[in-house]
């Protein structure tokens, strides 16, 4: 099956704030005008997270801007949206979340063929010293690449 993947939005803050343990591809329940808005790229994943309610997974704080030509069919931009996963995946995620310190974070939203998908990650929060270590490693890697290229700044 040859389906093209087009990334619409990414949650760059998530990789800085959390250790990513595992990730899942989930569908998302959207209205018609929301799909049009997503295709246009009017999505913001900053500060969004997912939670489990009554055996289903919902995403909170995901902002999808109202579609201009949507008039009365537009929904609340910050409304809670249901994620579509298989039952065994939901049970696995429930097991992760019940463990101390794990949370569900949407990493990206993308188009896979004609479908809107969300990459959902099981993540554990980083401490301040972990963030500093990551920054130091990134800076060291950049410096090594500069030396390798033979350019001194």
Question: If you compute the radius of gyration of the chain from its CA atoms, what whole number of angstroms results?
Answer: 18
pLDDT of residue 112 exceeding 70: yes
Domain ranges of the chain: 5-126
Using CB atoms within 10 Å of the CB of residue 54, give its burial: 0 to 12 exposed, 13 to 18 middle, 19+ buried.
exposed
Candidates 66, 73, 61, 74; CA nearest to 38 is 66
pLDDT of residue 136 exceeding 60: yes
pTM summary value: 0.73
pLDDT of residue 1 exceeding 70: no
pLDDT band at 151 (very low <50, low <70, confident <90, very high): low
Query: Could you read off the pLDDT of 26-72 as tens digits, one per residue?
Result: 999 887 888 888 888 888 888 888 888 888 899 998 888 887 776 76
Q: Which fold has domain 5-126?
A: Small Protein B; Chain: A; (2.40.280)
Q: Which residues pair with 112 in a beta bridge?
A: 5, 115
């Amino acid at each position: 099956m040859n389906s093209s993947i087009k990334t619409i939005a990414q949650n760059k803050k998530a990789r800085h704030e959390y250790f990513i343990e595992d990730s899942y591809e989930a569908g998302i329940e959207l209205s018609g005008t929301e799909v049009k808005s997503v295709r246009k790229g009017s999505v913001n994943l900053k500060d969004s997270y997912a939670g489990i309610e009554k055996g289903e997974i919902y995403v909170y704080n995901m902002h999808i801007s109202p579609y201009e030509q949507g008039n009365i069919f537009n929904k609340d931009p910050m409304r809670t949206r249901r994620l579509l996963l298989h039952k065994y995946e939901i049970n696995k995620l429930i097991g992760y979340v019940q463990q101390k310190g794990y949370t569900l974070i949407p990493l990206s939203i993308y188009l896979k063929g004609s479908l809107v998908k969300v990459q959902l990650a099981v993540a554990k929060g980083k401490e301040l010293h972990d963030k500093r270590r990551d920054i130091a490693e990134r800076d060291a890697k950049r410096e090594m690449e500069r030396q390798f290229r033979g350019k001194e700044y």
